[in-house]
Amino acid sequence: MYIPIFSKDLENFLNKKVALIGKIINIKEERKYIDILLLDPFGYFTARSFEPREFEIFSSVIILGKVKEFKGQKYVVANYFLKLSQREEIFWRSRHLYLYKKLSKSKRLAKKETEKEDAELKNKEEIYIEKEKKDLLPIGGKGSRNMVIKAIKELDTGDGVSIEQLVDYLGIDKNSVEKIVEELLIMGEIYEVSPNKFKVVE
């Protein structure tokens, strides 16, 4: 499993598999590898690729890899890169934050977040997400419906999932979630098990 972390956590995860999301700020090509400088809500970090790849400055990516150290500098040896569209970035940043907080609460992270750090994390990430949401077209289409179906499956503990839970989990405004849920109800993909509680038709 790749543990979702932020740049500030690198020193606590040496030789661990991690997942980060960042915006590419600089690319430096060496003879045997490529160093990519990225920015997330807490600062800069470096990802190193030993394979030739196509990178674009200012594009946002998900990185899966292992934390390494050389001459006191921590960096991530990247096994996998996924370039994100603007809409995908909003979804994956919300998902990343959700898993990060979930793992923190279950004490799976090496460093336990204090209440102050947790509030700082939430504020910074929410500001970042809101900034990226500007000028986006209203969400819709098959991809959005599939995203909501997947979220319902993951959140459902037996009693169904509410609109509010979907809004918090996906980071999408309530009106958009309600429209997608209404579409899924009409299509017969989900059903209302109790007032404002929805389950996926299996």
Indicate which CATH number applies to the domain containing 158. 1.10.10.10
pLDDT of residue 128: 59
How confident is the chain (202 residues) per 10-residue block, as mean pLDDT?
90 93 92 92 93 85 93 91 86 86 64 59 61 45 78 91 88 82 87 91 84
67 and 92 belong to one structural domain: no
pLDDT of residue 55: 80
Evaluate whether 87 touches 133 at the Cβ level (below 8 Å): no
Identify the CATH number of the domain in which residue 7 sits: 2.40.50.140
Q: Are residues 76 and 43 in the same domain?
A: yes
Residue 10 and residue 61 in one domain: yes
Unique residue bearing structure tokens 């098959």: 142
Q: What pLDDT was estimated at residue 167?
A: 86
Question: Is 68 found in the same domain as 7?
Answer: yes
- For the chain, how many structural domains are there in total? 3
Output the pLDDT for position 137.
Answer: 36
Amino acid type, 38 = L
Class of residue 49 by CB neighbours under 10 A (exposed 0-12, middle 13-18, buried 19+)? buried
- Contact present, 76 and 46 (Cβ < 8 Å): yes
The pLDDT, as a whole number, for residue 87 is 83
Nearest in space to 109 (alpha carbons), one of 17, 15, 8, 13: 13
Let me know whether 40 and 53 are in one domain: yes
Tell me what pLDDT residue 27 has: 92
Residue-level pLDDT at 106: 63
Whether residue 54 is found in the same domain as residue 90: no
Residues 20, 74, single domain; the answer is yes
Task: Put residue 54 in one of left, alpha, beta given phi > 0 → left and psi -120 to 50 → alpha.
Answer: beta
- Same domain as 113, residue 54: no
- Please indicate, yes or no, whether residues 184 and 160 belong to a single structural domain of this protein: yes
Q: Are residues 23 and 35 in the same domain?
A: yes
Say how far apart CA 36 and CA 24 lie, in whole Å: 7
44 Cβ neighbours under 8 A, 6+ residues apart: 7, 25, 37, 38
Same domain, 14 and 51: yes
Q: List the domain range (segments joined by +) for residue 91.
A: 86-133
For helices 142-155 and 174-187, give the axis angle rounded to 10 degrees.
90
Which residues, including other chains, have CB under 8 Å from residue 74's CB and lie 6 or more apart?
10, 11, 14, 45, 67, 68
Q: For residues 129 and 151, state if they share a domain.
A: no
Distance of alpha carbon 2 from alpha carbon 16, whole angstroms: 8
Under the phi-then-psi rule, with left for phi > 0, alpha for psi from -120 to 50, and beta for the rest, what region is 98? alpha
pTM of the model: 0.54
Residue 126 has a pLDDT of 61
Give the Å distances, CA to CA, from 186 to 63, 113, 180, 192, 196: 38, 43, 10, 11, 15
